[in-house]
Structure 1
Amino acid sequence: MPVPRARQIVLTACERRRFKQLAHSHTAPYQQVVRVRIVLDAAHGYSNARIALRQRVHLDTVRRWRGRYADQGIDGLKDRPRSGRPPRFTSVQRAEVTALACQLPTETGTPLSRWSSTDLAREAVGRGIAEAMSASTVRRILAADVLKPWQHASWIFVRDPGFATKAARVLGLYQRLWDGQPLTGDEYVISAEEKTSIQARCRCHPSLPPGTARMMRVNHDYERGGALAYLAAYDVHQARVFGRCSPKTGIIPFMDLAEQVMAQEPYASARRVFWVVDNGSSHRGKAAADRLTARFPNAVMVHTPVHASWLNQIEIFFSIVQLVVTPNDFTSLDQVEDRLIAFERRYNETARPFRWKFTLADLEDLVARIERHEQKELHFQQPAGCDYQPAALQATA
């Protein structure tokens, strides 16, 4: 009886190069890597028994994948469709679990603030949706609809009646517009704010730098060395930062920052310098605007809407500064101040203006969405005879 001969495998240069990459891949599935190595050994002329020894697999495994590649090429190395185990849970049960996850726990009488997969599995069993269900099963069911009820994100609704008008002024300045007219070359836009309560935490043991297979280590125990505030003004179009440290915030520290900026060129002789600020107590309302203009006649204070500090570009710079003071490991407040001022100098050497993407057109879209939302709320909630007008409509009236 003739002995069956191993199938002959011949690879082109392109196929061989591709297979070698797969054979040494650290990200491809392990089963695919083994199959590719079997084909490469077969192309080198090794016998099936020799390949089985080299790849540490069974002889029948070598015969199977060698034969499939000879018949079907690269597609033969893929797994064939399988029926799999019959589903344990019906589509109705899956829908009931999804519906349960889309309710707040308090609405179901469960004393929780958020669902976890374990809590959902327990609740599903308790309600009789299934006799038994694991947390991993719940996660797989919810993954089909990209649901993660154990996570949450906070939000705040626009409540400033002048939101659209105030936001339009700020966004116009970022585009070098004021009252519909382009700014001249001797007009500047400054974004200013305070970063409060930067602490000096002296760790009880020195921090350890990163090492092989080890991240940076910072001791948890520390001694408090006090806190300070970092006040900064950012030239939106020139990408220059002017900062100073103060024991606390207030009108006097803010005016000292304004003096630091307005006393130097080109701001001292500028036609106008617009100061974009939020509604913090140091620079809130018309009194603060009048105080700034009285001190510097060419200064114009422009407030962002209430609860809209994200419109202030200095917040982007402060998010960068947060990386300078984290993790907090300082022996004194003097060291904190030195670090901040040194970073400020370094930043100014290479800084470029931020690519601000929220434009006046985006603001119009946002206001339109707010109007639609408030009109829907008004339709369902407004009592008879109420003359309520949505905030966004008041802003654009």
Structure 2
Amino acid sequence: MPSAKLVPLTLTDEERRILEGWTRRRTTAQGLAMRARIVLTCAEGGSNTDIAERLRLNRSTVATWRARFVRDRLDGLSDEPRPGRPRTITDDQVERVVVTTLETTPVNATHWSTRSLAAQTGMTQSAVSRIWRAFGLKPHKVDTFKISKDPLFVDKVRDVVGLYLDPPGKAVVLCVDEKSQIQALDRSAPVLPMLPGVPERQSFDYVRHGTTSLFAALEIATGQVISAVKRRHRHQEFLAFLRTIDKTVPAELDVHLILDNLSTHKTPAVKTWLLKHPRFHPHFTPTGSSWLNLVERFFAEITVKLLRRGVHRSVSALEKDIRNWIKQWNTDPKPYVWTRTADQILESLAAYCQRINDSGH
């Protein structure tokens, strides 16, 4: 129930229809869509603090737009005019730029640039750029995504996230995976060191000297990493790594392994080994959801800090550097802290799926 100090917020059917349309329409500005969600949530009841927590917003933001709507209704959700020079661009021109950007493409490209859209609309390039910034439009950028089709997606998310947020007692939780095909690359010319005003420079071409694979088990509580570097990447190497984990983790502790669905993790030999070692408990992430395994964050770290710009003239030199880097990491490990609950993940995914469904894609 709203507190006694809050003015009740009720909506007419027409107001609700318009607000819901603003939250779903692909061309709605993000600020306006957010304000519409605030008002719709306020209409369901609850204090400003409760609503701020539900929407993950600042309490003052909720209070501001609740009050604006109660006072001015739908008109109160638009931006107030700011002092300064009178506008030279009309609302119709702004809408044309936004709609053209979102709903069309130029005949000779996959996306608009400020220059091409300015020529199309008859406006200046700087005006198009300002409108894009105001509406958060970046046609040159593309993010990739993948939605898992795993029929047990929800159950697996809850299982893995549950281990992160509430790990079992008398046990260790290890995120396990392999980074395969790590190349030993040598540049065709010496690397030129960084100078004032000049970045480090590497030759564009390189010489390959072979590959290796890194097996890693990240302990979520401490950030410590159990590792092995091997030339091949088969279930035999994975079994050997499981034996390494078995020798490393104290015998009185259970071992919960977070794994992806790689075939080498599920061979008959691996399953037999796990049955013979009942303290090991495998937990598989959903298909196509490697982001759920925290060891991927560790792999990103070693890639950025060692592998991407490393120069190695042999696989042995590469493997030595990897072992030394991990040894140094383990002297002062930094655990990655998982914060989102399974419900928050599933709600975000459901909202995204709803949004792309409503957009017609």
TM-score, L = length of structure 1: 0.63
Tell me if 1:312 matches 2:293.
yes
Report the 3-state secondary structure (helix = DSSP H, G, I; strand = E; otherwise coil) of the residue aligned with 2:135: coil
CA drift at 1:294: 3.1
Name the counterpart of 2:231.
247
Between the aligned partners of 1:203 and 1:295, the Cα distance in structure 2 is 47
Tell me if 1:231 matches 2:215.
yes
Name the counterpart of 2:158.
168
Between the aligned partners of 1:380 and 1:114, the Cα distance in structure 2 is 18
Call closer, same or farther: CA 1:122–1:291 in 2, change over 3 Å. Answer: farther
Tell me if 1:153 matches 2:143.
yes
Between the aligned partners of 1:295 and 1:115, the Cα distance in structure 2 is 60
Name the counterpart of 2:118.
121
Name the counterpart of 1:13.
none
- Unaligned 5+ segments in structure 1 are 1-80, 125-129, 178-182, 382-397
Q: 1:139 aligns with which of 120, 129, 134?
A: 129
CA drift at 1:97: 1.4
Structure of greater relative contact order (alpha carbons < 8 Å, 6+ residues apart): 2
Between the aligned partners of 1:376 and 1:307, the Cα distance in structure 2 is 21
Name the counterpart of 1:102.
102
CA drift at 1:254: 1.1
* Residues 292 and 300, structure 1, Cα contact 8 Å, conserved in 2: no
Between the aligned partners of 2:335 and 2:314, the Cα distance in structure 1 is 33
Between the aligned partners of 2:358 and 2:127, the Cα distance in structure 1 is 40
Between the aligned partners of 1:144 and 1:154, the Cα distance in structure 2 is 24
Call closer, same or farther: CA 1:295–1:123 in 2, change over 3 Å. Answer: farther
Call closer, same or farther: CA 1:371–1:140 in 2, change over 3 Å. Answer: closer
Between the aligned partners of 1:190 and 1:272, the Cα distance in structure 2 is 11
CA drift at 1:374: 6.1
Name the counterpart of 1:352.
334
* Residues 218 and 224, structure 2, Cα contact 8 Å, conserved in 1: yes
Q: 2:258 aligns with which of 241, 251, 276?
A: 276
Between the aligned partners of 2:355 and 2:312, the Cα distance in structure 1 is 52
Report the 3-state secondary structure (helix = DSSP H, G, I; strand = E; otherwise coil) of the residue aligned with 1:144: helix
CA drift at 1:328: 3.4
CA drift at 1:339: 0.6
Q: How does 1:1-397 map to 2 (within 5 A)?
A: 83=85, 87=88, 89-105=89-105, 110-124=107-121, 130=122, 133-177=123-167, 183-185=168-170, 187-266=171-250, 269-284=251-266, 287=268, 290-322=271-303, 323-359=305-341, 363-371=342-350
Report the 3-state secondary structure (helix = DSSP H, G, I; strand = E; otherwise coil) of the residue aligned with 1:279: coil
CA drift at 1:251: 0.8
1:95-138 CA distances to partner (integer Å, 9 max, x unpaired)?
21111001242xx7x353222222322333xxxxx3xx343332
Call closer, same or farther: CA 1:275–1:253 in 2, change over 3 Å. Answer: same
How many residues in Structure 1 have an aligned counterpart in Structure 2?
277
1:181-231 CA distances to partner (integer Å, 9 max, x unpaired)?
xx232x111111111221111112221222222221112222111222111
* Residues 199 and 328, structure 1, Cα contact 8 Å, conserved in 2: no
Between the aligned partners of 2:133 and 2:339, the Cα distance in structure 1 is 32
Report the 3-state secondary structure (helix = DSSP H, G, I; strand = E; otherwise coil) of the residue aligned with 1:102: helix
Call closer, same or farther: CA 1:321–1:288 in 2, change over 3 Å. Answer: farther
Call closer, same or farther: CA 1:239–1:366 in 2, change over 3 Å. Answer: closer
Calculate percent identity across the aligned residue pairs.
25
Between the aligned partners of 2:104 and 2:319, the Cα distance in structure 1 is 46
- Unaligned 5+ segments in structure 2 are 1-82
CA drift at 1:265: 4.1
Report the 3-state secondary structure (helix = DSSP H, G, I; strand = E; otherwise coil) of the residue aligned with 1:159: coil
Report the 3-state secondary structure (helix = DSSP H, G, I; strand = E; otherwise coil) of the residue aligned with 2:338: coil
* Residues 101 and 115, structure 1, Cα contact 8 Å, conserved in 2: yes
* Residues 289 and 301, structure 1, Cα contact 8 Å, conserved in 2: no
Report which stretch shifted further, 115-124 or 301-310: 115-124
* Residues 190 and 234, structure 1, Cα contact 8 Å, conserved in 2: yes
TM-score, L = length of structure 2: 0.69
Report the 3-state secondary structure (helix = DSSP H, G, I; strand = E; otherwise coil) of the residue aligned with 2:216: strand
